[in-house]
Amino acid sequence: MSLLVPPRVPSDEILDGIVTPVQAEESLADIEWIHRALGGRAIVKRHLVPLLLAVPSPRPVLLDLGAGTGHVGRSLTGELSRRGRKLVTIDLDRQLLHARLSATGRSVAADALRLPLADGSVDVVSSTLFLHHFDAASIAALLRESARVARVAVVALDLTRHRIPLAINALLSRFAYRSPITGLDGRASVLQAWTIPELRAIAARALPGTLVRPAGPFVQGLLWRRT
Amino acid in position 208: P
Lowest mean pLDDT among 95-99, 110-114, 154-158: 95-99
Nearest alpha carbon to residue 189 among 166, 168, 172, 222: 166
pLDDT value at 90 more than 90: yes
Measured distance CA(132)–CA(109) in Å, rounded = 20
Contacts of 48 (CB under 8 A, 6+ apart): 62, 76, 124, 126, 155
- Looking at residue 134, the DSSP 8-state letter turns out to be S
Backbone phi, psi, residue 193, to 5°: -70, 160
Measured distance CA(72)–CA(41) in Å, rounded = 7
Query: What percentage of residues in the chain have a pLDDT greater than 90?
Result: 85
pLDDT value at 97 more than 80: no
Measured distance CA(7)–CA(191) in Å, rounded = 7
Burial of 190 (0-12, 13-18, 19+ CB in 10 A): buried
Amino acid in position 177: Y
Which helix (DSSP H) or strand (DSSP E) does residue 170 occupy?
helix 163-175
Tell me the pLDDT band of 207, cut-offs 50, 70 and 90.
very high
pTM: 0.93
pLDDT for 104 equals 54
Tell me the pLDDT band of 108, cut-offs 50, 70 and 90.
confident
Contacts of 49 (CB under 8 A, 6+ apart): 76, 79, 80, 83
Residues 55-64 pLDDT 10s: 999 999 999 9
Tell me the pLDDT band of 103, cut-offs 50, 70 and 90.
low
Measured distance CA(132)–CA(179) in Å, rounded = 21
pLDDT for 107 equals 82
Query: What percentage of residues in the chain have a pLDDT greater than 70?
Result: 95
pLDDT for 68 equals 86
pLDDT for 96 equals 59
Rounded to an integer, the average pLDDT of 126-140 is 97
pLDDT value at 187 more than 90: yes
pLDDT value at 105 more than 80: no
Contacts of 128 (CB under 8 A, 6+ apart): 35, 40, 44, 64, 66, 72, 156, 157, 158
Residues 32-55 pLDDT 10s: 999 999 999 999 999 999 999 999
Residues 176-186 pLDDT 10s: 999 999 999 99
Nearest alpha carbon to residue 219 among 186, 183, 195, 185: 195
Domains and CATH numbers, the chain: 38-159+195-225 (3.40.50.150)
